[in-house]
Structure 1
Amino acid sequence: MGSDTVTGTAERRGAPRVGGVQVTARQEAAATDRDHLADEAETTAREAGVPAHKEGRDVREQQYYRPLWVEEPARRRRLPDPVRTAAVRSVLLIALTLIQAMVAFLCTMAGSWLAFPMVISSVVSTIVATWGALDVWVTRQVWSQRNGVVSMPSSTARALRRERRRARRQARAAERTQERIRRRGGAGQLSHS
């Protein structure tokens, strides 16, 4: 029995033999790609002044074992924890509401006694889900007001903080001046030096 009858696939019948083993077109293409990448890496290494390897095996292994993914910086910043919690709660409430609405619809179609209670609970769930969605927006606004906007030169929160600091400094300076005057023996006395 030949190797053609052992494999029994139409793909391997006309496949070329390399070292006594039949190679499929897919395997041959993958090997060609690997060799091509290794040749490119060797050329790049030679141009960069890195000494070339004798067999080029290390370069091929380096090209073959690439990382599975490359970390990229996030385009948007992570949500603050209170806002994230409110968003998760809202998504769960909305999902539960949709499930209840579907069950109410199916019970109504089937003429089940459970239809009326499910419709009532769906109405209540809709109100609660709406509250949950509004809660995300309110929590986000409150967090932004308390913690300021993203620190940018045009940020209004920065200017407000600067004004508050200036006002606090002036108030402290005025208190110190009043304390000094009181310690010296009362208001209105001028020291003669």
Structure 2
Amino acid sequence: MPLKYSTARFLTSAPTLAKCPVDSGVEVAFAGRSNAGKSSAINAITQQKALARTSKTPGRTQLINIFSLGDDVDRRLVDLPGYGYAKVPENIKQEWQRHLSDYLHRRASLKGLVLVMDVRHPLTEFDLDLLEVADDRDLPVHILLTKADKLKKGAAKNALQQVRSRLREWEDLISIQLFSSLKRQGVEDVHQRLDSWMEDETGVAG
């Protein structure tokens, strides 16, 4: 049976890995540059308007925000701090990056990563760094090329093909799709990917 992502609800926020819930069950984390539309994507995927807080000022998400699927605290969605754009002091930015790295490297219950990129500005240095981390621990990654509605259909398909071509070396670990929160384009595809991770405790992409 497909999981009901519309039942997602806020569980807790954690400033560090040590403050996260018990490391058991299955988690899927969402990461991305602060202006890539990550919060809007989470809200579209869960069919909620404000589960993940959106802001006109990118970089406001400074905590690891964790959501359970209804009462099932063993299946969780995780909204990681946005990176690479926030207008904050450099020392704070470096602290965020350290906590992000700790979580990605050490969280045993993390079974998959949804990496959110603006289709018009994909594969930034930060995105590639994150893919390297995922590769280090053999963590499957599903890339959402967001704001696909901002491009004409042909241009969006070309952008998708270009990203696939650049990431060919990681094709065994990565899946990629176009996505639009505004048009709800690609939501069902994300649900299928999440289902494969949530149901398969080995974390192997289905």
TM-score (norm 1): 0.18
Q: Would you tell me which structure has more strand in proportion to its own residues?
A: 2
TM-score (norm 2): 0.17
Greater helix percent: which structure?
1
| Greater relative CO (CA pairs within 8 A, separation 6+) | 2
